[in-house]
């Protein structure tokens, strides 16, 4: 059993922390909204703390899953100050690779471990304990943290040094953006052509066009229901980070950049909290 702190109890962090507690670890939680932490403690039996410092003190592992670079910086400062030597900070936030490298250097100075460990699988994956985690950091720190992360993961891969996990998550988002837009256009075309959308998917989903998005989102896309996963606001944040990195490394991402603008249109339609499959709503409006 490990002493763990979990910082950030959003749609992802809440069930992830729950799996840690259910697997026998001693879990303390902190959330910006204290009521959320209190509710989590009542549900899972762990302990809610009023401060980050109190939550992380004496812990072997500190896990974080928050929003963006500024949020990570805001919690890493007090956490690093209070963590004991040898403890490992695992950041599940999708953030920039530059921040991961910065925090890894700071952690090393303080004799702490650091792993950037963004996740893929969405809310459904978090609630099922079936996330895919891509990690960057030192192999020794990864070896310590991997068995703990296994509580809520189906696949965990060390991609390289600090920042490599975040870079891999960027690849993940690049691929998803293109696939979702392709599926949206295909379903939109099928409707305009007078085809039965469900029969179309039945016909093509076992061939080369098959994808996770097709299998899990086509029905709700056809119905115009977009409350089933990763929000457009968060996808735009991820694509912003990705496009900034591309400008640094010289990668050309014309499709990702275009889809990012399509998501801006969805936001303008009032779809900030719709899931990413809502690209089809844009096609049907414009």
Q: Catalytic amino acids?
A: 169
Four-residue CA torsion sign, 139, 11, 102, 85:
negative
**What is the token pair recorded at 246?**
């591309």
Which helix (H) or strand (E) is 21 found in, with range?
A: helix 13-22
Give Cα 118 distance to the centre of its chain: 6
DSSP E strands, the chain: 3-7, 26-30, 47-48, 61-64, 88-91, 113-116, 119-120, 131-137, 153-160
The residues that bridge with 45 in the sheet, in sequence order, are: none
CA distance 27 to 62: 10
């Amino acid at each position: 059993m490990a002493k763990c702190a979990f910082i950030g109890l959003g749609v992802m962090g809440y069930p992830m922390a729950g799996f840690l507690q259910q697997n026998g670890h001693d879990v303390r939680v902190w959330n910006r909204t204290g009521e959320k932490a209190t509710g989590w403690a009542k549900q899972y039996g762990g302990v809610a703390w009023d401060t980050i410092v109190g939550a992380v003190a004496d812990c072997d592992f500190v896990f974080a899953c928050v929003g963006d670079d500024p949020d990570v910086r805001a919690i890493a400062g007090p956490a690093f100050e209070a963590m004991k030597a040898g403890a490992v900070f695992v950041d599940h936030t999708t953030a920039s690779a530059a921040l991961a490298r910065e925090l890894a250097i700071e952690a090393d100075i303080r004799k702490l471990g650091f792993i950037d460990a963004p996740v893929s699988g969405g809310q459904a994956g978090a609630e099922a304990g079936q996330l895919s985690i891509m990690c960057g950091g030192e192999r020794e720190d990864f070896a310590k943290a991997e068995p703990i992360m296994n509580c809520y993961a189906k696949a965990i891969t060390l991609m390289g040094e600090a920042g490599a996990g975040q870079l891999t998550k960027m690849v993940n988002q690049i691929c998803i953006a293109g696939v979702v837009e392709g599926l949206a256009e295909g379903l939109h075309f099928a409707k305009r052509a007078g085809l039965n959308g469900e029969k179309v998917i039945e016909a093509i989903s076992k061939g080369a066009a098959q994808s996770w998005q097709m299998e899990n989102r086509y029905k709700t896309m056809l119905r115009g229901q977009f409350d089933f996963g990763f929000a457009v606001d968060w996808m735009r944040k991820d694509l912003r980070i990705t496009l900034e990195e591309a400008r640094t490394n010289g990668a050309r991402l014309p499709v990702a950049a275009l889809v990012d603008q399509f998501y801006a249109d969805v936001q303008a339609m009032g779809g900030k909290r719709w899931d990413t499959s809502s690209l089809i709503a844009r096609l049907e409006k414009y």
